Amino acid sequence: MQHRLWTALGAVVFATMVLGGAAHAENRKVKIINETNSDLNEFYASNVGASDWEEDILGDDQVPAGGSVSINIDDGSGYCKFDFKGVFVDDSEAILEGVDVCEVGVVRFTEK
């Protein structure tokens, strides 16, 4: 099984440059962009205070290679920082830690 690991820092830096701080604390919507060559089959977002991954947000849906989806990452906890986990149809995984969804409006899964 091939594993991909991305850092949230790259996503945060890119989103900050592109959005220029357009996302506000009350807006926890994040556009997830799949820039890999594999469809995103599962997506999890758990606040950094959680000990386990929450449910698969995509359910029966997928984000195709080159596609995107907008998700409201508000779990009612008041947290802004979340860990993201993407599982792709080729069984590879990507984990982004500590993404500040109150500041970042775009997160990209890219080939490494």
Kindly report, residue by residue over 12-34, the tens digit of the pLDDT.
334 444 444 444 445 789 999 99
Q: How buried is 8 (Cβ within 10 angstroms: 0-12 exposed, 13-18 middle, 19+ buried)? A: buried
Domain housing 28:
8-110
Cα dist from 2 to 35, 72, 91, whole Å:
17, 29, 7
44 and 53 Cβ atoms separated by less than 8 Å: yes
Q: What is the number of other CB atoms lying within 10 angstroms of the CB of residue 24?
A: 10
Query: What domain count does the chain have?
Result: 1
Q: Give mean pLDDT in consecutive 10-residue pieces for the chain, a chain of 112 residues.
A: 42 42 62 96 93 93 97 88 96 94 93 74
pTM, whole model, 2 decimals? 0.75
Residue 32 sits in a domain whose CATH number is 2.60.40
Residue 1 is predicted with a pLDDT of: 43
Residue from 25, 76, 85 nearest 57 by CA: 85
